[in-house]
Chains A and B, each alone.
Chain A
């Protein structure tokens, strides 16, 4: 079954990309993705541009309303996602727990709807 691993984190809690910690975390993401790819479970994975680049769209009373930024004003924002084809939720939870930012961020594990 297909599960989405939605990767959340507070950008201010993440190490600066240029710092040694940031570089180490980047390496860790590369390794993680490679490991996931090798496992044969990865269907797709993407990192998202920073939340400041987001635009939220609504249509209300026929009018299109655009808002700068993500939908909800929360500290933790969606930073990326992986789609994994796993036998059960335990496997998805195991991969989620291995996520490089799991110690300061969080991962929402959600089954993907199958329209068959």
Chain B
């Protein structure tokens, strides 16, 4: 096979595969497995046809047409001469050879809708969350089962089972391929955003050596967020999510130092932040703001943006960040947000202000053993100059942590305290895991 055709096919698999799959699923009345098989057949056909006849002008159109023909063969073979065959045969009669079908290839309408329908089906709340993330990445990211398995650090067999079970449930339970009706849309769209955000955090929190060989889930999540934002351009929180993942991802290169050690926000080399990502994130956040429908993703993105704007940790606008956390806490009163709010208040005003807020939180029994709370307390106490109390707070933080890496990090900070250096760092305002 000529290298040109190989490259073109690899590209088509990756970039056109998901939308062709989405369209096929619609033409096949929601038969996900048949659509996948037919598409695989079309790839196989391309392997011989493209080097011989040349790469088609619109590979997606060629693949759609070829896959539809293969689906007819498969259905005939299965002697399932039902309505689906008639639909396909009608479409096949209209297929003008290998030239693109103008209706199918119009990105702005039919095809875009197909992908949106597929996205809502893959993110349906009747599926287990782990199936939703995997199925979304595989079907809309155009990954193979093996690549998806590696991305989520499970065995090929386990991922295969997970995907098969999910697809079987979609078919058997009648999970619809559609953009949900208005009364369901806000809830379901929130579910889609959550899945995309989980895909991103899955990639963002993985700092293991394997990360180098894993298909990059952060990049995949950003692509999917861009897609959703393009398909739902008037949804402020989707734009907020896109802004959040871009602004968070912008710091990626600066997050790990030599030997893969994590570097917190305060000590990151800000010159290594990705200016292009920041600009794109900021633009998305601005567009979201114009829609005047504030929400949690937009607030988190605005906090990330405030950090992105600051030339240094010291020159950070903590008043603004504190105000954003206060608003976020009103919507999402979680412990992580409460602790970050206290730290921001302590840095904006005086450590004592933050410590008062943390002490109020400590009175809640559920938070008595909450590591971030004790870690934040220790650091504000260092700022306040109360080293003895800070040492005690570190001890509590270390004792309450179940994570070895975190314990080592806290111990190192405690050591520095004894050597007389000080630093203060809140939890990075990225995702609750």
Q: Give A residues with C-beta under 8 Å from B.
A: 1, 3, 86-90, 92-93, 109-111
Q: Which residue of A lies closest to B177 (CB)?
A: A88
Q: Give B residues with C-beta under 8 Å from A.
A: 124, 126, 172-176, 180, 184
What's the Cα separation between A93 and B124 when bound, in Å?
12
Report A-chain residues with C-beta under 8 Å of the C-beta of B126: 89, 93, 109
Cross-chain pairs A/B with CB under 8 angstroms, 24 sampled:
A1-B174, A3-B173, A87-B174, A87-B176, A88-B174, A88-B175, A88-B176, A89-B124, A89-B126, A89-B173, A89-B174, A89-B175, A90-B175, A90-B176, A90-B180, A90-B184, A92-B174, A93-B126, A109-B126, A109-B173, A110-B173, A111-B172, A111-B173, A111-B174
What's the Cα separation between A46 and B273 when bound, in Å?
63
Q: Which residue of A lies closest to B124 (CB)?
A: A89
Q: Which residue of A lies closest to B171 (CB)?
A: A111
What's the Cα separation between A89 and B125 when bound, in Å?
11
What's the Cα separation between A3 and B175 when bound, in Å?
12
Most buried by A among B174, B175, B176: B174
Report A-chain residues with C-beta under 8 Å of the C-beta of B174: 1, 3, 86-89, 92, 111
Report A-chain residues with C-beta under 8 Å of the C-beta of B124: 89
Report A-chain residues with C-beta under 8 Å of the C-beta of B175: 88-90
Minimum C-beta distance from A106 to chain B (A): 14
Q: Which residue of A lies closest to B175 (CB)?
A: A89
Minimum C-beta distance from B50 to chain A (A): 38
Q: Which residue of A lies closest to B172 (CB)?
A: A111
Minimum C-beta distance from B25 to chain A (A): 14
Report B-chain residues with C-beta under 8 Å of the C-beta of A1: 174
Q: Which of A89, A109, A110, A111 contacts B176 (CB 8 A)?
A: A89
What's the Cα separation between A110 and B174 when bound, in Å?
10
Minimum C-beta distance from A77 to chain B (A): 23
Q: Which residue of A lies closest to B181 (CB)?
A: A90
Report B-chain residues with C-beta under 8 Å of the C-beta of A93: 126
Q: Which residue of A lies closest to B176 (CB)?
A: A88
Report A-chain residues with C-beta under 8 Å of the C-beta of B184: 90
Q: Which residue of B lies closest to A110 (CB)?
A: B173
Report B-chain residues with C-beta under 8 Å of the C-beta of A3: 173-174
What's the Cα separation between A38 and B124 when bound, in Å?
28
Minimum C-beta distance from A92 to chain B (A): 8
State the 8 A-B residue pairs at the shortest beta-carbon distance, nearest first: A88-B176, A88-B174, A89-B173, A1-B174, A89-B174, A111-B173, A111-B172, A89-B175
Report B-chain residues with C-beta under 8 Å of the C-beta of A86: 174
What's the Cα separation between A87 and B30 when bound, in Å?
13
Q: Which residue of A lies closest to B188 (CB)?
A: A90
Q: Known A-B contacts: A89-B176, A90-B176. Give 6 more (CB < 8 A).
A: A3-B173, A88-B174, A88-B176, A89-B175, A90-B180, A111-B174
Report B-chain residues with C-beta under 8 Å of the C-beta of A88: 174-176
Report B-chain residues with C-beta under 8 Å of the C-beta of A89: 124, 126, 173-176
What's the Cα separation between A100 and B126 when bound, in Å?
21
What's the Cα separation between A109 and B76 when bound, in Å?
33
Most buried by B among A88, A90, A93, A110: A90
Most buried by B among A86, A109, A110, A111: A111
Report B-chain residues with C-beta under 8 Å of the C-beta of A110: 173
